[in-house]
Structure 1
Amino acid sequence: MDAELYAFEPRSGRGAGVLSGSVAPYSFGEIFPAHDLAPALARRRLHAWLDAVHWPTDSRDDVVLAASEAVSNAAEHAYSPGRERDITVHAALVVGPSNIERVIVSVADSGRWREPLVEHHAQRRGLQIMRAVTDELRLEMTSVGTRIKMISRPVRQPR
């Protein structure tokens, strides 16, 4: 996951290097069924992981919100009704120069974009929300599905 973006270093006091060798618990990965409960499940599990890696509370909500919006978009738009499919969520804690940390989140599906069956005024703001709460967002639409990669705002952690 975007390893070329950062020069990785071990995080002091936490054992293994981030994204080198054994990455657990510095990475997160789950597959969620693409249905209405997927965003809530993803929020709960990602929040617990961020808590476990001691991600700052004030930045945690932004990462969880962005991932939740991406999962919601995939659940709603990627698959035709009645088709049992999955949404994959990966996240990794990365450490760059000057002890700057970020979380990189990837949300992927294997479907194709579908317009919503019913248009709601509050809909169609997911990408705007994701962009507003992350430092970087990339949307990749291919013949095998869609992937959204998001990079959190930088956080400086004490060593």
Structure 2
Amino acid sequence: MPPSSDQDRRLEHDRSRAAEATLQLVLDVDWVSPSIARDRLRRWLTAHRWSPAHVDDLVLALNEAVSNSIEHGHGLTAPTRDDSAQPVEVHGRVVTESDGARHVELTVRDRGSWRAPADAHSSAGSSRGHGVTIMRACVEEVTVDRTDDGTTVVLRSRSVPPPLT
């Protein structure tokens, strides 16, 4: 059975919202927030006709950046929520280069003060402490700026060709 015209309008509205020029997220300091960021980024990139492999890389990099903001910026280690903390903000934009190729810039900002997690291990065999390494493997460039006011991480994707028309 074909969708109704109301359904068509809702789907078109969802598509146009998802293809907005920028991505703006304000996330609670909560362990659910990385999954919200992953889902919204995936939908936004898909609406911009990003290739699936590049989408996966960016989703993983953003997941690490948001998770680090929650864990290191605010010290949240248990699956709880910190309602007193300033939210984590994510801003994304598509940049079109002179040759038509495109890349994404994602900025993740928290207003916490960096702290190592309570259960961090310093042993060489630890599986912790690889977030920035994972981000660097997934994107072209990672910039981390830590100040007294919080931390800002900028992720710049590898360039992709213009979408086929």
TM range (shorter): 0.7 to 0.9
Q: Which runs of 5+ in 2 are unaligned?
A: 1-18, 77-81
In structure 1, the residue matched to 2:6 is: none
CA distance in 2, matches of 1:42, 1:25: 16
In structure 2, the residue matched to 1:149 is: 154
CA distance in 1, matches of 2:33, 2:127: 19
Give yes or no for contact 2:106–2:155 (8 Å, CA) kept in 1. Answer: yes
CA distance in 2, matches of 1:123, 1:74: 15
| TM-score using structure 1 length | 0.80
In structure 1, the residue matched to 2:25 is: 30
Give yes or no for contact 1:36–1:75 (8 Å, CA) kept in 2. Answer: yes
Which is greater in Rg? 2
Correspondence 1:59-138 to 2 at 5 A: 59-81=54-76, 82=82, 83-119=84-120, 121-138=126-143
| TM-score using structure 2 length | 0.78
Give yes or no for contact 1:136–1:150 (8 Å, CA) kept in 2. Answer: yes
Give yes or no for contact 2:75–2:116 (8 Å, CA) kept in 1. Answer: no
Structure (1 or 2) with the greater helix fraction: 2
Please, which moves more after superposition, 36-45 or 118-127? 118-127
Number of matched pairs: 136
The answer to whether structure 1 residue 42 and structure 2 residue 43 are counterparts is no
Q: CA deviation at 1:109?
A: 0.1
> Per-residue CA shift, 1:89-118, capped at 9, x if unaligned?
110011001111000000000011111111
In structure 1, the residue matched to 2:15 is: none
Percent identity between the two aligned chains: 33
CA RMSD, aligned part only? 1.5
Q: Which runs of 5+ in 1 are unaligned?
A: 1-23
Paired residue type of 1:148: V
CA distance in 2, matches of 1:100, 1:76: 35
CA distance in 2, matches of 1:46, 1:78: 21
Q: CA deviation at 1:80?
A: 4.3
Q: CA deviation at 1:84?
A: 2.9
CA distance in 2, matches of 1:73, 1:127: 9
